[in-house]
Amino acid sequence: MGCNASKQEGNVSRSAPGGGSKAKGGKAKAGKSKSKGFASATSAPVPDGGACYLVYEPDSSGRLVEHYSKTAIEGAIGRWTPGKDKKIAGFKFTQNHGKVILIGNCSGGVAGRKAYCAGWNQFVKSAKLNKGEIMFWEPLEGVKGLPVDVWLYTDDNRPGFQSMKLETGVAVTLDKMQGVATLPKDSDFYEGVQIDLFKWLDDGNSKGASIKF
């Protein structure tokens, strides 16, 4: 895989800047948006109850790992925090140093790309099951990983709102999401288009990987 992500520009304050497409508190709404969020996992404040981070480890043929931590994980490409009625169990932070392997064999070729995208989808599904919110980041410059786009299928069937792409460092609540598709970065997809969920999933799976919640 070994792709190098483009460098993040600028500094981001401790609270994400406001924008027309964000809800109160710096959370994204469905629809088009170019607002900036937290530039990296280490710039986003960690809730008292900790968080689950997504980390790519290039060793062992490449694998995606969930890392439960109460401090920010440098180089993480994703993060979810549980909803207000949920809590991360204490043993998650101590068992195997807080690490759980999501998927392996992500290091190259079509099969590796497919596995990487599928691992991202599993991570989003975990966030959904915990009624949580999720953040996305590109791999850091010089760090191995596959640049991807993560798309969500919402329950809002208006064109321009039905398909929503995760933006860098912007928290998104998943309660109204019905599916996720992870694709190689800049793949053509259904931005601004109304489309049946199963067609959306089929096309997402043909380009990368997709699942229905």
170 alpha-carbon distance from chain centroid: 10
List, for residues 23-42, the tens digit of each pLDDT value: 333 455 444 445 589 999 99
Whether 144 contacts 2, CB under 8 Å = yes
CB 94 within 8 A of CB 189: no
Residue with tokens 């691992």: 119
As a whole number of angstroms, the distance between CA 97 and CA 99 comes to 6
3-class SS at 131? coil
pTM, 2 dp: 0.83
- Report yes or no: 80 and 51 within 8 Å, Cβ to Cβ: yes
The two tokens of residue 194 are 């109304």
* CA max distance for the chain: 45
What tens digit of pLDDT does each residue of 58-114 get? Answer: 987 899 999 999 999 999 999 999 999 999 999 999 999 999 999 999 987 899 999
